[in-house]
Amino acid sequence: MAILGAGSMLLAAALAALPATAGAQAPDELTKKLLFSAPMTGNGDNVPADALSLDACLTAATELVGPDSFDSCADQAVGPVPESGKSPGYLQLTDASKFNTGAAILNKALPNKGGIEVTFAQYQYGGTGADGISFFLVDGGTDLTEAGAFGGSLGYAQHGDNPGVDGAYLGLGLDTWGNFSADTEGRGTGCPAAYQAPAHLQVPFNRAPDNVALRGPGEGTQGYCLLATTATDEKIGEYANGDIYGTDFPESLRSATLDGAKRMVKLKVGDGQHPKVTVDIDFLDGEGWTRVLETEVPFEAPDTFKIGFAASTGAATDVHLIRHLRVETFVD
């Protein structure tokens, strides 16, 4: 994974030289082994020592400690947040206040044996639809203590002069506002044409709301290239600053209320030089899992990896919650 820190020229050259396909054993053909499980419904008594809060909190917790502890959410209660101190609770990344950020990181290397599967429940609701939630994987050799840039970069990618997350390998954006798929604000700097956003999402202020996207490896302000997005080229509206584009998506990622906001997310990363990646979402509408994205990562996955969640709001907002994280690897 030395390629990740080798600079923009090497990153771009490696991306441009990639062959079109690479075969590998499908994760579905292998046996899963549980690596990490975190319901996030309790008061924080059993939070792992390597888990770091960056202004995230646990709604079931009752004690206020500080912004870098998984403590009570009583001081982060703007909007229709879950009742503080009530169990079962949630990991709260943000309330519905403006220009808010939050992240939760596991600074512990987990082994990658033949692929990775991550499932969790996400909740976005109660505001005006911004910005979204990211889940990310980084090289396990990284000292993961900070998220990346926020706003439309969702704590994963770069944003202007603000760097993306260190050692980045793969970032999943559950993007209600719609900037994570856009190569604006500095996102995707140094990426070759094949890994850039479509032209209509390279125009400042254009966006594709309520979509899912994957961005790849990066370091500092270089890379974090767009690998896949549910955004389409169908213009569905406009606002004072730009055009709004549609998404190839059966349901919304968010809801007006907590009761209707739960969405189950499943991310799979395969094995091999160019791992296959799939994203499935269960909208809890009786239809089960829906495949929303399928692509390849242009670099082999690291032997170990670390994980994180992040979320942000802007002038528009939402409450952002996570529950029931489960991380598994695949073995022969």
Model confidence over 29-42: pLDDT tens digits?
Answer: 678 999 999 999 99
Kindly give the confidence (pLDDT) of every residue in the chain, 332 residues in length, as a single tens digit, with 9 standing for 90 and above: 333 443 444 455 445 544 444 445 555 567 899 999 999 999 877 788 899 999 999 999 999 987 788 999 999 999 999 999 999 999 999 999 999 999 999 999 999 988 999 999 999 999 999 999 999 999 999 999 999 999 999 999 999 999 999 999 999 999 999 999 999 999 999 999 999 999 999 999 999 999 999 999 999 999 999 999 999 999 999 998 999 999 988 789 999 999 999 999 999 999 988 999 999 999 998 999 999 999 999 889 999 999 999 999 999 999 999 999 999 998 76
d(CA 7, CA 11): 6
Which amino acid belongs to residue 331? V
d(CA 117, CA 268): 4
Mean pLDDT of the chain: 90
**Phi, psi dihedrals of residue 148, rounded to the nearest 5°:** -85, -160
Identify the CA nearest to 101 among candidates 311, 326, 254.
Answer: 311
Q: Give yes or no for a contact between 196 and 214, defined as CB atoms under 8 angstroms apart.
A: no
What's the DSSP call for residue 162?
B
For residue 285 the two structure tokens come to: 């509408």
Identify the CA nearest to 313 among candidates 141, 124, 117.
Answer: 124
At residue 181, the pLDDT reads: 97
d(CA 267, CA 67): 29
Which residue carries 């999402």 as its tokens? 201
Which amino acid belongs to residue 56? A
For residue 191 the two structure tokens come to: 């990426």
Cis amide linkage into residue 131, ω under 30° from 0:
yes
Which amino acid belongs to residue 16? A
CA atoms within 13 A on the CB side of 167: 20
